[in-house]
Amino acid sequence: MQEVLAAIVPAPGLRVLDCTLGLGGHAEALLAGGATVWGIDRDPAARALAEERLASFGDAFRVLSGTFAEVTAGLRAAGERFDAVLADLGVSSMQLDDGQRGFSIRSEAPADMRMGDGCPADAIELIRSSSADELADILYQFGEERRSRAVARALKAAVERDEISGAQLAAAVRGAIPGHQQRHPALRSFQALRIAVNGELDQLRALLAILPQLLCAGGRAVVISFHSLEDRLVKESFRAGKATGIWDDIARRVQQADAAEEARNPRSAPAKLRWARRAGAGAAP
Ligand SMILES: C[S@@+](CC[C@H](N)C(=O)[O-])C[C@H]1O[C@@H](n2cnc3c(N)ncnc32)[C@H](O)[C@@H]1O
């Protein structure tokens, strides 16, 4: 939070687009500092809660429904420009902790894993409809799972036996990976399935491509990512944009939560923040 407010200093009249509203924690802090915030979320439950929580900010706050790739394309077409655009990627704690949505390796509900709008299939359908080779590629690329072929076969067999809860799929993955591991071995595969179900990397690529066109000259893009696949995309995109003059400054190093925030909220530990500043008018397309 501190790092976000250092990169986007809220002030009356500042227009901020929050691409990942969630429950509105960042949006609330920006609104409290006097900014106007438009918040996007693909999850109808998150939108309803944020809308209720932040209703007291009146016209300064507006909720937009859909994926950020889709909504930002519409905003660009409408000629909207912002002083700052924020994206705090991935799932929210609310989504992870809701046992009914099947994101967790402990969930007793079917492993759905859809965040909301714009997901053609849930995780069970993805496992069922992919060949073992296709599924292994997903696990390897998005979860860096080295035993991807064995895990893919185990997941497909579990779904065929109708063992489709988060906990049952996690047990199937554990059975396919020998030896003791410090972290539950299914966490890598669950990350991969979630990324694939929600098209997370395609969403991020689309957002990174459109970001400069959403910002006023001197405006800031701020992206918080939670794993190396995302952070790599952000780093490469910002560096390439700096080289071509789209950005006139970018974060020289990644920023992470301080010890106090990490102690308060252990899920902030892997978060990596990068920012980029839009070059002056006429310097870039
Ligand atoms: C990490 S949480 C954001 C938390 C928020 N910054 C806060 O302070 O409460 C991520 C949120 O972004 C949403 N989200 C993730 N990817 C999205 C996408 N491609 N389009 C729209 N919303 C997305 C999720 O549904 C989730 O509610």
Instruction: Show pLDDT as tens, one digit a residue, over the chain (285 residues).
Output: 999 999 999 999 999 999 999 999 999 999 999 999 999 999 999 999 999 999 999 999 999 999 999 999 999 999 999 999 999 999 999 999 999 999 999 999 999 999 999 999 999 999 999 999 999 999 999 999 999 999 999 999 999 999 999 999 999 999 999 888 888 999 999 999 999 999 999 999 999 999 999 999 999 999 999 999 999 999 999 999 999 999 999 999 999 888 888 888 888 888 999 999 999 854 443
- Please indicate whether residue 191, judged by its CB atom, sits closer than 6 Å to ligand 1: no
133: CA distance to ligand 1 center in Å?
A: 30
Place of tokens 């790599």: 232
- Please indicate whether residue 20, judged by its CB atom, sits closer than 6 Å to ligand 1: yes
According to the model, what pLDDT value does residue 285 have? 39
According to the model, what pLDDT value does residue 282 have? 47
43 near 109, Cβ under 8 Å?
A: no
- Please indicate whether residue 122, judged by its CB atom, sits closer than 6 Å to ligand 1: no
According to the model, what pLDDT value does residue 117 have? 92
Residue whose CA is at the smallest distance from ligand 1 atom 25: 43
- Please indicate whether residue 43, judged by its CB atom, sits closer than 6 Å to ligand 1: yes
Whole-angstrom distance, CA of residue 206 vs CA of residue 117 = 16
Beta strand 215-225 pairing with 272-278? antiparallel
88: CA distance to ligand 1 center in Å?
A: 6
- The H or E element containing residue 159 is helix 148-160
144: CA distance to ligand 1 center in Å?
A: 23
- Please indicate whether residue 199, judged by its CB atom, sits closer than 6 Å to ligand 1: no
Residue whose CA is at the smallest distance from ligand 1 atom 3: 22
117 near 67, Cβ under 8 Å?
A: yes
Residues 6+ apart with CB under 8 A from 76: 210, 213, 214
According to the model, what pLDDT value does residue 281 have? 59
Which atom of ligand 1 lies at the shortest distance from residue 204's CA?
19
Residue whose CA is at the smallest distance from ligand 1 atom 18: 67
According to the model, what pLDDT value does residue 267 have? 81
The secondary structure of 73-128 as a DSSP string is HHHHHTT--EEEEEEE-S--HHHHH-GGG--STT--SB-----STT-SS-HHHHHH
According to the model, what pLDDT value does residue 284 have? 40
Place of tokens 């925030």: 261
Beta strand 215-225 pairing with 82-88? parallel
208: CA distance to ligand 1 center in Å?
A: 16
For residue range 209-257, what is the model confidence (pLDDT) as tens digits? 999 999 999 999 999 999 999 999 999 999 999 999 999 999 999 998 8
SS (H, E, C) 171-228: HHHHHHCCCCCCCCCHHHHHHHHHHHHCCHHHHHHHHHHHHHHHEEEEEEEEEEECCH
